Amino acid sequence: MIVFYLLLGLSASLSMTVVALAADDPTPHQSSHAAASSCSPSDYNQAGSAGSIQSADEAGSFENMQIETSDLVRHERFFESVLHAPIVQRMDHPQVDSLRGYCYRGVLIVVRQDLRTPRPTGWVQINFTVPDVTAVQEELERSVRTSSLYELSEDERAKVVRFRIKPDVMRGNRKALRLEVFGPEGFMIGFDQYK
């Protein structure tokens, strides 16, 4: 079961919390890109827009999330070099915007840069439950070490990715070992291993 929370920090005084639960997925995800999902490239037409994606019960379900950025290149490096998330959507509208859609652990995450009025991401947090936080941490840190990001200074690399491990974090009424993977401009992915 994947459980994730999306927190958008729109400003210091306004925030919105969206909670989505994707039940009926008892299979633990072994790697960042091994999960079969509704965001596979075959679900998108030639123009890169979503086709008619239907869940098994056709009752409607979570489809995707979109975030804004003022620096698409840093997000591309984060998703492609660190997470190894397959790109399923690439659209460039000259002098208007650029979009990149990534499939990560069964969630379609679309990153958009408005070329007229670039906006920093703000605060976006996605949380996943995983059976082994240490394995996820090792996989992601290995990705950084073997990518061009590793050649950057620590300060420049930290603008793309940072890691923090937290033992015994209370998540609801349960304790978890938590890995926080910080990306550009306030984007973060959390991985919780419940005890």
61-78 pLDDT per residue, tens:
778 899 999 999 999 999
- Which has the minimum average pLDDT: 72-81, 99-108, 114-123, 150-159? 114-123
CB 3 within 8 A of CB 21: yes
Assess whether pLDDT exceeds 50 at residue 187: yes
Give mean pLDDT, residues 154-168: 95
Q: Are strands 64-68 and 15-22 parallel, antiparallel or unpaired?
A: unpaired
Three-point CA angle 48, 49, 50, nearest 5°: 125
Q: How many CB atoms lie within 10 A of CB 143?
A: 18
Write the CATH number of the domain with boundaries 2-27+62-194: 3.10.180.10
- Which has the minimum average pLDDT: 14-18, 65-69, 168-172, 190-194? 14-18
CA-atom Rg of the chain in angstroms: 17
DSSP state of 84: -
Phi-psi region of 75 (alpha: psi -120 to 50; beta: other; left: phi over 0): alpha
